[in-house]
């Protein structure tokens, strides 16, 4: 996961440089970037609320669970929205203070963990900001090629030092041995994030730096550029819709559990190929519908007005964050934040269509 934010820092640095060179107001940057991240949530939210309404008439408890589970992936979107919105400030800070801007975030992440493990003070939600903004700042440093001139052995030492640090943090504790919650280890370093992920991010940054400097001067051909562009455009949609696709497949499986959800391990593995094919097909159908929405919605221009861009980005980020915490549902607070997200997308859009 840290590598995604390192890559995001690299990409956002290039976008900030391009925005600065254009001379456009801040609203133009925020309008384009923030709407691209918030508008895909609208069809997901609409479909889920429809399912919750219908499901509530049949099995209210199950409908609530579905709304909660489908909203779970929004944590990544809310944090990445923060990284994107603050990227101009992050790039400005790095250009003036260098790695000190990243060191402050790393120290803050460790500070939260120290208070958690030794002080009994729960400020873990802050590490959603500190840990991931730190990894994003590593990406800014990568874009600025600050370590591209370092000998390979030095980058190797960075990786080894990170591995040693993680062993020292995890083996005696109190940091957790897993980065994802599993049945026998429900508490992990991911939810909420700990400084262990920041250390892992440093190791991944060093590996990416070693590989990236070998690729200087190389660029993919036109065919690969199109494929990469398509992949980038679909990545967020696949991420948002993979849980609904899995939910539908589990529902189908419950209609014939002996056939599709066998109890035996051998039987379970035998039906996995079919399960993966059907799940992929279901996801493809959902993503196709989401793409059609994005194509239609892209006809409307994004705002270039600074106050609309700032307000829309802030409201959109807070709304996505709260919907992640609350889930999609029909309570007054859930519906209020759903309306807030719609309003944010409206603010980030201009009142005109893009000319063909």
Q: Go through 52-70 and write b for each residue having 16 or more CB atoms within 10 A of its CB, e for each that does not.
A: beebbeeeeeebbebbbbb
Annotated domain spans of the chain: 2-42+75-214
Q: Are 53 and 330 in contact (CB under 8 A)?
A: yes
Peptide bond into 174 cis (omega under 30): yes
Return the DSSP state at 355.
P
Q: Are 305 and 27 in contact (CB under 8 A)?
A: yes
C-beta neighbour count of 222 within 10 angstroms? 8
Q: Report residue 23 CA to chain centroid gap.
A: 29
Stated pTM of the model: 0.89
**Angle, CA of 102, 103 and 107, to the nearest 5°:** 120
pLDDT for 287 equals 95
Peptide bond into 192 cis (omega under 30): yes
Q: How far apart are CA 208 and CA 196, in angstroms?
A: 18
Return the DSSP state at 125.
G
pLDDT for 167 equals 94
Q: How far apart are CA 212 and CA 206, in angstroms?
A: 10
Q: How far apart are CA 198 and CA 6, in angstroms?
A: 11
Q: Which of these, 22, 48, 51, 38, lies nearest to 85 by C-alpha position? A: 38
pLDDT for 36 equals 93
Half-sphere exposure of 124 (CA within 13 A, CB side): 15
Q: Are 199 and 158 in contact (CB under 8 A)?
A: no
**Angle, CA of 110, 4 and 117, to the nearest 5°:** 20
Averaged over successive runs of 10 residues, the pLDDT of the chain (356 residues) comes to 92 95 94 94 95 88 91 94 96 95 96 92 93 97 88 93 94 82 65 92 94 79 83 90 90 77 80 87 94 92 93 96 95 96 95 61
């Amino acid at each position: 996961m840290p590598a995604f934010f390192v890559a995001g820092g690299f990409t956002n640095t290039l976008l900030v440089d391009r925005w600065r060179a254009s001379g456009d107001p801040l609203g133009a940057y925020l309008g384009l970037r923030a709407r691209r991240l918030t508008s895909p949530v609208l069809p997901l939210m609409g479909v889920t609320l429809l399912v919750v309404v219908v499901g509530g008439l049949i099995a209210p408890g199950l409908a609530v669970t579905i709304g909660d589970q489908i909203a779970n992936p929004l944590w990544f979107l809310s944090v990445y929205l923060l990284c994107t919105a603050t990227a101009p400030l992050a790039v400005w800070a790095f250009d003036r203070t260098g790695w000190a801007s990243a060191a402050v975030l790393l120290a803050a992440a460790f500070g939260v963990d120290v208070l958690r493990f030794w002080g009994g003070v729960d400020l873990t939600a802050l590490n959603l900001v500190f840990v991931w903004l730190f990894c994003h700042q590593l990406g800014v440093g990568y874009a600025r090629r600050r370590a591209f001139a370092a000998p390979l052995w030095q980058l190797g030492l960075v990786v080894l030092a990170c591995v040693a640090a993680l062993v020292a943090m995890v083996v005696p504790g109190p940091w957790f041995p897993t980065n994802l919650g599993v049945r026998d280890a429900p508490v992990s370093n991911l939810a909420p994030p700990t400084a262990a992920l920041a250390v892992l991010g440093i190791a991944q940054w060093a590996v990416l730096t070693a590989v990236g400097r070998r690729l200087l001067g190389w660029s993919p051909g036109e065919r690969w550029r199109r494929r990469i562009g398509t992949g980038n455009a679909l990545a967020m949609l696949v991420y948002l819709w993979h849980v609904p696709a899995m939910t539908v497949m589990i529902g189908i499986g419950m209609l014939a559990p002996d056939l599709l959800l066998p109890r035996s391990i051998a039987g379970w593995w035998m039906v996995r190929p079919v399960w993966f094919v059907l799940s992929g097909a279901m996801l493809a159908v959902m993503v196709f519908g989401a793409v059609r929405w994005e194509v239609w919605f892209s006809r409307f221009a994004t705002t270039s007005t600074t106050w609309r861009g700032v307000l829309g980005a802030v409201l959109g980020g807070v709304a996505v964050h709260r919907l992640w915490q609350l889930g999609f549902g029909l309570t007054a607070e859930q519906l209020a934040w759903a309306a807030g997200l719609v309003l944010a997308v409206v603010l980030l859009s201009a009142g005109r269509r893009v000319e063909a």
